[in-house]
Amino acid sequence: MDFNEIHKQIEASFEKGPGDLPVKYRDKVVKGILVPEDNYLISGSIAAWAWKEIAESKFPEFYVIIGGCEGDKVYLSLEDFETPLGTVSNVQLKSTNEKIQVDEEKHTEEKSIEMQLPFLQFVSKDKLDKLKILPLLVGKGCSYETLESVAKAVKSIQKEFVVVVGSDMTKHGEKFEFNQFRYGIEQEINNLDMKSLEFIQNLDVTGLLEHLGKTNLSNGKGVCLLLELIEENGRLLDYQSYGSEDISTYASLVF
């Protein structure tokens, strides 16, 4: 996808979602957002609600961008990231925490962080020269102790940061190998998601960790790390479903 195409998709996402592009005033205080990590044509308009909040909030020293992957640690990249909209600089903060492992190969294989960067670049047009990220991939096998330890390590940096985590809510159907419900499927999925969102909005990490066994939140452990990193309750901006037989649901939250 080239510069013009991705730029048009992002603009269309704002028009279809919030209804207009972000204003230039940066007077809000945002600590983090949760957005979908799916194709922009499917979930971009949902993500745009949260990205508009980022665009209209105070600019931090860096953004913590959280994706998901296999493994039982949190995997850090120290390299810059390239997108069709240009280069995103890595803040290059090294850690001695044994739960954080530098693994460039995992970051090359896993593209969930790259899904968020064009939106971040778009809403940071006026400050691209100052834009820096701390890219973290959270292993699905991470324990609570690992998440807690990594959160403490990030917070100890004592720089102002905003957290961005990408995760889809539920993907139900044969296509996704998750066929938990047979009757009243849409309502059952909604109930499942509303429970997930309740835990997320209330920063209830323990509750969400227990709930993950019932759902297939695509980056559940990454969401848990988000909740460990921030202290402000979340607010749901948008929630939608896509599909009929194979159903995907998405949410956009700001903290």
What's the CATH number where 148 sits? Answer: 3.40.830.10
**pTM score of the predicted model:** 0.95
Does the structure show a pLDDT above 80 at 2?
yes
For 12-41, letters b (16+ CB in 10 Å) and e give: ebbeebbeeebeeebeeebbbbbbbbbebe
The Cα–Cα gap between 246 and 177 comes to 10
Q: Please tell me the number of Cα atoms within 13 Å of 163 on its side-chain side.
A: 27
7: containing domain:
3-254
Task: Name the strand (E) or helix (H) holding 42.
Answer: helix 40-55
Residue 224: name the closest of 200, 195, 202, 193 by CA: 200
pLDDT at 160: 96
- Are residues 101 and 76 in contact, defined by beta-carbon separation less than 8 angstroms? yes
217 pLDDT band (50/70/90 cuts)?
A: very high
Task: Name the strand (E) or helix (H) holding 210.
Answer: helix 205-211
pLDDT at 135: 98
254 pLDDT band (50/70/90 cuts)?
A: very high
pLDDT at 94: 85
pLDDT at 161: 97
The rounded mean pLDDT for the chain is 95
The Cα–Cα gap between 140 and 163 comes to 19
Does the structure show a pLDDT above 90 at 180?
no
Q: Identify the weakest region by mean pLDDT among 1-5, 15-19, 91-95.
A: 1-5
Strand partners, 76: 102, 136
Classified as helix, coil or strand, 93 is: coil
Does the structure show a pLDDT above 90 at 222?
yes
The Cα–Cα gap between 222 and 71 comes to 12
pLDDT at 118: 97
Does the structure show a pLDDT above 90 at 165?
yes
pLDDT in tens, 48-90: 999 999 999 999 999 999 999 999 999 999 999 999 999 999 9
Does the structure show a pLDDT above 80 at 241?
yes
Sign for the pseudo-dihedral over CA of 9, 15, 21, 22 = negative
Does the structure show a pLDDT above 80 at 47?
yes
> Which residue type occupies 163?
V
Residue of 2 and 103 predicted with greater confidence: 103
Domain count, the chain: 1
Antiparallel, parallel or unpaired: β 86-90 and 74-76 = unpaired
pLDDT at 225: 98
Rounded to a whole number, what is the distance in angstroms from the first to the last CA of the chain?
Answer: 31
Q: What is the mean pLDDT of residues 228-252?
A: 96
Residue 43 φ then ψ, to 5°: -120, 5
pLDDT in tens, 103-148: 999 999 998 999 999 999 999 998 999 999 999 999 999 999 999 9
Residue of 38 and 3 predicted with greater confidence: 38
